[in-house]
Amino acid sequence: MALKTAQEYIESLRTLKTRVYMFGEKIDNWVDHPMIRPSINCVAMTYALAQDPQYADLMTVKSSLTGNTINRFTHLHQSTEDLVNKVKMQRLLGQKTASCFQRCVGMDSFNAVFSTTFEIDEAHGTHYHENFKKFLTFVQDNDLTVDGAMTDPKGDRSKAPHDQKDPDMFVHVVERREDGIVVCGAKCHQTGSINSHWHIFMPTISMGEADKDWAVSFACPTDAEGMYMIYGRQSCDTRKMEEGASIDVGNAKFGGQEALVVLDHVFIPNEYIFLNGEYEFAGMMVERFAGYHRQSYGGCKVGVGDVVIGATALAAEYNGVEKASAVKDKLIEMLHLNETLYCCGIACSSQGFQTKAGNYQIDLLLANVCKQNVTRFPYEIVRLAEDVAGGLMVTMPSQKDFTSDTVVGRNGETIGDICNKFFAAKDGVSTEDRQRIMRFLENMCLGAAAVGYRTESMHGAGSPQAQRIMIARQGDIQGKKQLAKDIAGIQ
């Protein structure tokens, strides 16, 4: 099959029987739901750009499995150039959507599971690697969106999976049959899960022998029997359901998406199993996925940052302060922080290396440094954006007030007249344009988009402490001590 178009992707979602719940009710036509559709538009952009000759080198690539032209989001990295192009592609999509485009988790899981299953088979004589190659060929041939599901609810985080009061706090095998396994549990914070055709489930932590029933990885269709999703709330999300509020939404066309994915005795055939009790490899799969995903943030968050910086510069211009030295300095600092993140994404990519399985992995230390910076810099970028934009970003009347014909003034002025008079921008800039950029910044800094930019920068791909643990492990303090000893003449 050829690469899907954006419209073909959207229509393909309608053929699924995905079970989606929101506000305590089942959503039948979730594809056209006003709170969900912006996130679908974001994924659709990954298909649209792949059809554009201008972006073909970034968005498409030759498959290492079939030789066919495929979307890069379904690719196994074959070189450091591939790793660098991945980051460039993610920055481009962040620039085009100013939001989370949701296919990164699947791409990162493909590469982590591919290399890990090779080494599991090498140690245990299993057939997981062949299972995975067949599955990924199917994904590439049909240009599918796949969610990478890793984060378990975890319950009491001081306890291992087998010690939990409720075993469902981590996804686990409840029955092993000749033709497959039955699994229960849930994955939370799942980015783009509802918008995906399939899911790949992976462990979320390293495990011991007592946890072998929880050491499981597999693929299953998003509408599998026994699988359902509960949509996650976002700040200001119901604005998308209001009439006459397209400006108030901020980013009316694009948005992110998170959900709780529940597995209630879901059957997984043998051909879709990639880990089943080989607990000593759970940690490897987690670390490799986390490394790839921490690299991703050096691209996607930078692209969204580009848009935040542009919106901040526009707000300054509309306010008439674009020439003030303090404002110029703040914009320079925003640029500096954003490009530093990009440097980290490119650095960990350019220092990548080939795995035993043949695909390429990023430099884990630099990927964790990249994500550690992402937990900080976007917060400062947002702080500076709010500083430059001013308080109107969060105190402005609604869009309906600006168009209201309710008379309030002694000379017959309407509420709309009053709002447009007192919130006017500098000469040559319409009040509506100023209104739009202020609401856009509110959305990016505090609203629904902040979930995919600011807050996700903190917790996506692991919390800051997770990266610090990996930095300590990869940083080679003992080797650095020896360098000092050698130079200082210490035996």
Catalytic residue from among 77, 204, 258, 419: 258
- Told to judge if 419 belongs to the known catalytic residues of this protein, a careful annotator would answer no
CA distance 487 to 181: 58
CA distance 322 to 388: 9
Catalytic residue from among 100, 220, 370, 445: 100
- Told to judge if 370 belongs to the known catalytic residues of this protein, a careful annotator would answer no
Phi and psi at 216, nearest 5°, equal: -145, 140
The Cα-based distances of 315 to 165, 309, 311, 384, 475 in angstroms read 52, 10, 6, 12, 42
Catalytic residue from among 297, 318, 342, 360: 297
Residue among 96, 112, 101 at smallest CA distance from 149: 112
Cβ–Cβ under 8 Å, residues 261 and 186: yes
What pLDDT, on a 0 to 100 scale, did the predictor assign at position 234?
A: 93
Q: Which two tokens stand for residue 49?
A: 């750009």
% of the chain exceeding 70 in pLDDT:
100
CA distance 135 to 198: 10
Helix, strand, coil content of the chain in percent (nearest 5): 55, 15, 30
What pLDDT, on a 0 to 100 scale, did the predictor assign at position 1?
A: 62
Average pLDDT rounded to a whole number, residues 444-464: 90
Q: Is the pLDDT of residue 15 over 80?
A: yes
H or E element at residue 62: strand 60-62
The Cα-based distances of 463 to 122, 193, 285 in angstroms read 32, 20, 18
pLDDT tier at 2, thresholds 50, 70, 90: confident
Please give the radius of gyration of the chain, using alpha carbons only, rounded to the nearest integer: 24
What pLDDT, on a 0 to 100 scale, did the predictor assign at position 112?
A: 98
Residue among 62, 84, 114 at smallest CA distance from 355: 114
Catalytic residue from among 293, 348, 360, 386: 293
CA distance 478 to 290: 25
Average pLDDT rounded to a whole number, residues 5-14: 98
Residues 6+ away with beta carbon under 8 Å from 383: none
Catalytic residue from among 191, 204, 312, 355: 191
Query: pLDDT digits over 138-153, tens only?
Result: 999 999 999 999 999 9
What pLDDT, on a 0 to 100 scale, did the predictor assign at position 209?
A: 98
What pLDDT, on a 0 to 100 scale, did the predictor assign at position 364?
A: 97
Average pLDDT rounded to a whole number, residues 181-202: 98
Residues 6+ away with beta carbon under 8 Å from 339: 302
CA distance 330 to 309: 10
The reply to whether domains 6-286 and 287-482 share a CATH topology is: no
Query: pLDDT digits over 222-280, tens only?
Result: 999 999 999 999 999 999 999 999 999 999 999 999 999 999 999 999 999 999 999 99
CA distance 107 to 86: 10
Considering the domain 6-286 in this protein, what is its CATH number? 2.40.110.10
Average pLDDT rounded to a whole number, residues 201-206: 98
Catalytic residue from among 42, 188, 220, 300: 300
* Residue-range domain boundaries for the chain: 6-286, 287-482
CATH 3.40.50.300 fits 287-482, yes or no: no
- Told to judge if 258 belongs to the known catalytic residues of this protein, a careful annotator would answer yes
Average pLDDT rounded to a whole number, residues 458-470: 94
Average pLDDT rounded to a whole number, residues 349-377: 98
- Told to judge if 293 belongs to the known catalytic residues of this protein, a careful annotator would answer yes
Query: pLDDT digits over 264-305, tens only?
Result: 999 999 999 999 999 999 999 999 999 999 999 999 999 999
Which spans in 279-430 are helix H? 282-319, 325-350, 364-374, 377-389, 392-395, 399-403, 415-422
CA atoms lying within 13 Å on the CB side of residue 441: 30
- Told to judge if 297 belongs to the known catalytic residues of this protein, a careful annotator would answer yes
% of the chain exceeding 90 in pLDDT:
98
Instruction: Classify 277 in phi/psi space as left (phi over 0), alpha (psi -120 to 50) or beta.
Output: left
- Told to judge if 348 belongs to the known catalytic residues of this protein, a careful annotator would answer no
